[in-house]
């Protein structure tokens, strides 16, 4: 199967501080890959390198078959990205956000219209499509942000804590959207602090102090550590990292 992401000894140093220390892993096309770690473990730095925003200090990586050193601009066009902090323009309407991002990703006018309409209907947001995003509940914003990040059918979508603070039902609806995207062949690279969500991933990796200390399916990790949940695995592995 084609690899959506490959990383080999990928490293980023800031002065003498090694934020990401020689991480090696790959992600299959259409896989849901969970990227876990404590605050400050180096997750954001790794995501920045993979999304073409930060040049690695050493090591190799490809995203959608493109080299992160040579083709960062092409990578940006082939991926989608959303975070909890910033994803949409609050003072633009639902439909304006969709058109704006569709335009940025180079979709044609009729594609934006068609896919935008489809998204709005799938999200159940037809009635609020002309409302400003600021007026929507957080859960709706996050679902809309995900739809916007996948509008251009990217090969990989990066989700940085997409469900932080979201209510438990919307959190689950969000994961159903993730599965749907994966079924359509989109690779999902997701970080979360909800350990139950880690169980929904095909594979998860755990970062501790810049090093990837585990990378396998949730079942295998639970068996290895002889525990019944990923939360216990995480606490066993990541304890005492700060």
Partner 1 sequence: MLKVSNISKSYENVQALNDISFDLRKGELFGLIGPDGSGKTSLFRILATLLLSDKGQVLFEGRDIVQDYRYVRNNVGYMPGRFSLYQDLTVRENLEFFATIFNTSFEKNKHLIEDIFKQLEPFQSRKAGDLSGGMKQKLALSCALIHKPTVLLLDEPTTGVDAISRKEFWQMLQRLKEEGMSILVSTPYMDESKLCDRIALIQEGKLMGVDKPSEIVASFDKCVYQIKGEQLYNLLSKLRSMEDIESAYPFGSSLHVYAATGLDLKSNIESLFPEVNVQVDVIEPDIEDTFMNLMTSKDG
Cβ atoms of residues 11 and 207 within 8 Å: no
Among 5, 149, 166, 204, binds partner 1 (CB under 8 A): 166
Give the chain's end-to-end CA distance (angstroms, integer).
Answer: 38
Report the alpha-carbon distance of residue 202 to residue 84 in Å, rounded: 22
Name residues contacting partner 1, limited to 8-37 (CB under 8 A).
37
From the list 2-10, 51-59, 101-109, 225-233, the region that binds partner 1 by CB under 8 A is 225-233
Q: How far is CA 71 from the centre of its chain?
A: 20
| Residue 48 interacting with partner 1 (CB under 8 A) | no
| Residue 184 interacting with partner 1 (CB under 8 A) | no
Among 110, 127, 168, 226, binds partner 1 (CB under 8 A): 168
Name residues contacting partner 1, limited to 49-108 (CB under 8 A).
84
Among 199, 203, 216, 225, binds partner 1 (CB under 8 A): 199
Among 195, 204, 215, 221, binds partner 1 (CB under 8 A): 195
Among 164, 203, 216, 225, binds partner 1 (CB under 8 A): 164
Task: Please provide residue 7's backbone torsions phi and psi, each rounded to the nearest 5 degrees.
Answer: -140, 135
Among 33, 81, 105, 175, binds partner 1 (CB under 8 A): 175
* Two tokens, residue 114: 């068609």
Q: Regarding beta strands 187-191 and 156-160, do their DSSP bridges make them parallel or antiparallel, or are they unpaired?
A: parallel
Q: How many CB atoms lie within 10 A of CB 89?
A: 14
Residue 9 Cβ vs partner 1, minimum distance, rounded to whole Å: 24
* Diameter over CA atoms, the chain: 54
CA distances from 136 to 69, 93, 166, 177, 214 (A): 39, 10, 13, 19, 38
| Residue 235 interacting with partner 1 (CB under 8 A) | yes
Instruction: By CB under 8 A, name the binding residues for partner 1.
Output: 37-41, 84, 137-139, 161, 164-170, 172, 175-176, 179, 193-196, 199-200, 218-219, 229-231, 234-235, 238-239, 241-242
């Amino acid at each position: 199967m084609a690899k959506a992401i490959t990383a080999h000894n990928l490293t980023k140093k800031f002065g003498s501080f090694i934020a990401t220390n020689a991480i090696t892993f790959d992600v299959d096309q259409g896989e849901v890959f969970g990227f876990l770690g404590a605050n400050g473990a180096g997750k954001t730095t790794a995501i920045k390198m993979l999304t073409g925003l930060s040049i690695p200090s050493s090591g190799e990586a490809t995203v959608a078959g493109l080299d992160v050193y040579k083709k960062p601009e092409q990578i940006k066009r082939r991926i989608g990205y959303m975070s909890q902090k910033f994803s949409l323009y609050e003072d633009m309407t639902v439909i304006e956000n969709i058109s704006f991002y569709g335009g940025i990703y180079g979709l044609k006018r009729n594609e934006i219209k068609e896919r935008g309409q489809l998204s709005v209907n799938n999200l159940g947001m037809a009635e609020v499509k002309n409302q400003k995003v600021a007026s929507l509940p957080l859960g709706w914003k996050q679902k809309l942000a995900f739809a916007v990040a996948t509008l251009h059918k990217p090969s990989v979508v990066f989700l940085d804590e997409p469900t932080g603070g979201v209510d438990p039902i919307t959190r689950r609806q969000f994961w159903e959207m993730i599965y749907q995207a994966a079924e359509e062949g989109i690779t999902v690279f997701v970080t979360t602090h909800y350990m139950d969500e880690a169980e929904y991933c095909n594979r998860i990796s755990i970062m501790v102090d810049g090093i990837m200390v585990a990378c396998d399916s949730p079942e295998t990790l639970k068996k290895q550590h002889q525990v019944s949940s990923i939360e216990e695995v995480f606490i066993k592995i990541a304890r005492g990292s700060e």
